[in-house]
Amino acid sequence: KLTGEGIDSNGKHQFKNGKYLQGYKNNVFYQDGNPCNWWADDGYAWYFFKGGKKLTGEAVDGNGKRYFVNGKYANGVYKGNLYKDGVDASCNSYVNGIFYDENKKPANWWYDDGEAWYFFKDGKKLTGEGTDANGKHQFKNGKYLTGYANNLFYEDGDLANWWHDDGNDWYYFKDGKKLTGEGTDANGDHYFVNGKYATSNSKYHTRRYELMVENGLTDKEAELAERINEYRRQLGLREFSVSKSLTKVARTHVIDSNKYHPEKQYDSRGIKGNLHSWSNHGNWTPVVYTPDHKYAKYMWSKPAEISEYKDDGFEIAYINTYNLTAKSALDGWKGSKLHNDVIIGTGFWSNLKVMGVGIDGDYSFVWFGVSENDPAGFYWKNK
């Protein structure tokens, strides 16, 4: 059985094991014993062969005249011509997902692709930063971006600098960020917090206030902290650092008090508790705090129970069911000698250095501590 070249009544052929060869020999592809000159599956894919070689050049198949590259219809630019599926393509068209311009180069500008105008880079609709005749812009899928990129909000490709709906709500932006600070809109000058009109007194919206809000305090909490520290400054006293852990304790007490009103409880002696009481609806020791301070240790231990602050904490409390503000809370404490003594550090309270603030609904609590070691960190640290 012949393997090699042989001659039969049909002429000269390549044989393998007595059969016309189907496959490669010496890098030439044979079909029915002859070098292939048509489409054939070589075991990997279908290719167009000429003289047994995958054709690069022009030939005619069942679809007419085509240009081939390595046995496939040409797609792209070859010898200065743009081809699509082997046919000479017009300019301004897609080939293999790349849009080519009038110079048969991957597009790098605004072009109408037949559906709409898009901005292209290297033949792709640009997502990212690009420059056109109007300057530098952010693009998404070939259009000016309206939305967020890298935590900045863009409107028509530019950083937003006005009121915009970001998909969740309307916010006032400056340089792409929700503004905290002074700004001017159609209604005049305002103070904004996270893109909204501020709901508290703008006098206390210092740069430190802005940083504390950016780090997680509410505007009311930040104002309360600023008012307390302003009061101490006026008296020539050191300002309190604002502890994240003690703020967590204060906020937790605000939530507990607004929801369960633990000050309405009575202890086993029938004595009614006060605002330093805690309900039994949390991961802490419940306490009915009575005026005789019998259960004081269960108040002092709350920072260690709730937060990373492991030293004792001390609390002042305020309730206003009509219109609770940072001002009304501080005014209330200043009007009570016992509470005022804590704030200004009189006597026993002279070593207090840190505070945490909570104010919402009908309640406000401020927690104080001596240790400045807070593993959770600070909204502001007095250095």
Is there a domain that residue 181 lies in? yes
For residue 184, is it within any domain?
yes
Higher pLDDT, 331 or 95: 331
H helices present in the chain, as ranges: 207-214, 219-234, 244-260, 296-300, 302-306, 326-334, 337-344
- Asked if 170 and 283 sit in the same domain, the reply is no
Residue 179 located in a structural domain: yes
Please write the tens of the pLDDT for every residue from 263-309: 999 999 999 999 999 999 999 999 999 999 999 999 999 999 999 99
Measure Cα distances from 220 to 48, 101, 358 in Å: 76, 58, 8
189 with 250, same domain: the answer is no
Are the C-beta atoms of residues 171 and 196 closer than 8 Å to each other?
Answer: yes
pLDDT of 335 above 70: yes
Task: Check pLDDT > 70 for residue 201.
Answer: no
Residue range 50-74, pLDDT digits in tens: 999 999 998 989 887 888 999 999 8
Q: Is residue 336 part of a domain?
A: yes
Domain CATH number, residue 338 = 3.40.33.10
Residue 310's pLDDT band, with cuts at 50, 70 and 90, is very high
pLDDT digits (tens, 9 = 90+) for 27-54: 999 999 999 999 999 999 999 999 999 9
226 and 334 in a single domain? The answer is: yes
Tokens of 252: 């937790």
Whole-angstrom distance, CA of residue 60 vs CA of residue 76:
19
Residue 83 maps to a domain: no
201: helix, strand or coil: coil
375 and 273 in a common domain: yes
Q: Is residue 77 part of a domain?
A: no
pLDDT band per the 50, 70, 90 thresholds, residue 93: confident
- Return the sign of the alpha-carbon dihedral for residues 48, 54, 56, 58: negative
Write out the H or E segment, with its range, that includes residue 354: strand 354-360
Query: 88 with 67: CB under 8 angstroms?
Result: yes
Could you give the number of structural domains in the chain?
Answer: 2
87: in domain: no
Q: Which domain holds residue 171?
A: 147-198
One domain, residues 186 and 317:
no
The verdict on residue 350 lying in a domain is yes
Task: Give the residue from 272, 275, 318 showing the smallest Cα distance to 299.
Answer: 275
- Looking at the fold, whether 194 and 328 belong to one and the same domain comes out as no
Tokens of 237: 């006293």
**Same-domain check for residues 240 and 353:** yes
Q: Does residue 161 sit in the same domain as residue 277?
A: no
